[in-house]
């Protein structure tokens, strides 16, 4: 038993059952679609080590997965205690007191250690800054909620056990307030709208979330959206979360036909709306280079302070890459309107 526990501490275990309609696909590619931040080289190394198991038999990386196959993989990772190491890094702290702090997270910064991101995360920086923080139910110091690596914006962090409990309850009760700005493909028809759809892991690609018709396959999720500015082929919208599911805005907006601009995982890094003109393609390519991540920013955050009982509200400006892309689209849309009026 001790030997098994030691083995478990040195590996991450993933198991997937291939959909019955799965077309034959190399097992390394199959796993790349399902394990976040796993490199093909690491998966192939696991195959060489005999750590990719299909239907209880080790396979090579060129094995082709078929419908109904049960695929398991063991990937080495550092022991858990080695992940929560304090690391010096700049933190954009918007507000701080004895109970909590609000931080403006830049795009590209992972919130907590996990597969493929064992260091350099926000938690590593927070531990260097504060020394010790209370842990949430997942043993993550200070975290009340999280945002994706390539999403920028506001996070509240608990500094005491009492603050952790009170803030976590507010997020659970949906009494906290979170507003995001998102640039999406297409001209959103309605000025306001609600996306109400259960979110769950896509059966064909576990790195994606998708909308299911009922709760049997996903968790209830509600996103309210409102058009802020129209640019013709893309639209700036404000999204208010009623729930806080993984990739909620990204999956919900794709579901209604308005994938986030440059959201590579959900297909937004290609031209989804617009012309076939070479100049337009060059313009879009320049925008994609200006903002090499999904156009999503957690702009405002509100909650009741766990000690004073006062309503707290915070807002942060759009980062430079987002603002730059909006300027490009604004100028492009204005140029198009002037051209059409002649």
Token look-up 């999406």 returns: 184
> What tens digit of pLDDT does each residue of 130-152 get?
888 988 877 788 899 999 999 99
Residue 135's domain spans which residues?
84-172
pLDDT of residue 6: 33
H-type alpha helices, the chain: 2-9, 27-32, 40-48, 122-130, 161-172, 248-255, 278-290, 320-341
DSSP, residue by residue, 259-283:
PBTT-GGGTTTS--SS---HHHHHH
| φ, ψ for residue 268, nearest 5 deg | -85, 5
Average pLDDT over residues 39-58: 85
Does one domain contain both 209 and 337?
A: yes
Average pLDDT over residues 234-240: 98
> What tens digit of pLDDT does each residue of 50-62 get?
889 899 888 999 9
pLDDT of residue 148: 92
Does one domain contain both 55 and 139?
A: no
- The pLDDT-based confidence of 45 (bands split at 50, 70, 90) is confident
> What tens digit of pLDDT does each residue of 266-306 get?
999 999 999 989 999 999 999 999 999 999 999 999 999 99
Does one domain contain both 145 and 69?
A: no
Catalytic residues: 148
Does one domain contain both 94 and 158?
A: yes
Q: pLDDT above 70 covers what percent of the chain?
A: 91
Is the entire prediction scored with pTM above 0.85?
A: no
Does one domain contain both 196 and 304?
A: yes
Does one domain contain both 221 and 322?
A: yes
> What tens digit of pLDDT does each residue of 182-212 get?
999 999 999 999 999 999 988 777 778 999 9
Nearest to 256 by CA among 220, 288, 210, 293: 210
Does one domain contain both 187 and 158?
A: no
What is the number of domains present in the chain?
A: 3
Does one domain contain both 55 and 188?
A: no
Average pLDDT over residues 110-138: 83
């Amino acid at each position: 038993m001790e030997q098994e526990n030691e083995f478990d501490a040195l590996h991450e275990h993933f198991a997937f059952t291939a959909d019955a309609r799965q077309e034959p696909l190399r097992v390394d590619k199959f796993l790349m679609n399902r394990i976040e931040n796993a490199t093909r080289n690491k998966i192939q190394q696991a195959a060489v080590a005999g750590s990719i198991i299909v239907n209880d038999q080790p396979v090579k990386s060129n094995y082709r997965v078929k419908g109904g196959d049960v695929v398991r993989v063991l990937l080495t990772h550092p022991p858990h205690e080695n992940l929560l190491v304090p690391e010096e890094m700049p933190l954009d702290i918007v507000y701080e007191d004895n109970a909590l702090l609000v931080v403006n997270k830049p795009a590209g910064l992972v919130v907590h250690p996990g597969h493929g991101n064992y260091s350099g995360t926000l938690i590593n920086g927070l531990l260097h800054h504060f020394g010790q923080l209370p842990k949430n139910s997942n043993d993550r110091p200070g975290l009340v909620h999280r945002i994706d690596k390539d999403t920028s914006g506001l996070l509240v962090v608990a500094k005491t056990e009492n603050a952790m409990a009170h803030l976590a309850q507010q997020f659970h009760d949906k009494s906290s307030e979170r507003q995001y700005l998102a640039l999406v493909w297409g001209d959103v028809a309605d000025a306001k709208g609600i996306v109400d759809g259960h979110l769950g892991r896509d059966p064909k690609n576990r790195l994606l979330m998708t909308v299911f018709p009922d709760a049997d396959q996903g968790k209830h999720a509600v996103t309210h959206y409102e058009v802020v500015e129209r640019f013709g082929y893309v639209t700036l919208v404000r999204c208010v979360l009623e729930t806080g599911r993984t990739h909620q805005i990204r999956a919900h907006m794709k579901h209604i036909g308005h994938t986030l601009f440059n959201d590579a995982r959900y297909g937004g890094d290609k031209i989804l709306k617009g012309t076939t003109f070479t100049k337009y393609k060059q313009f879009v390519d320049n925008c994609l280079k200006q903002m090499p991540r999904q156009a999503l920013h957690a702009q405002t955050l509100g909650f009741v302070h766990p000690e004073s009982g006062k309503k707290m509200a915070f807002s942060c400006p759009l980062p430079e890459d987002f603002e730059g892309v909006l300027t490009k689209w604004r100028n492009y849309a204005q140029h198009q309107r002037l051209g059409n009026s002649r």
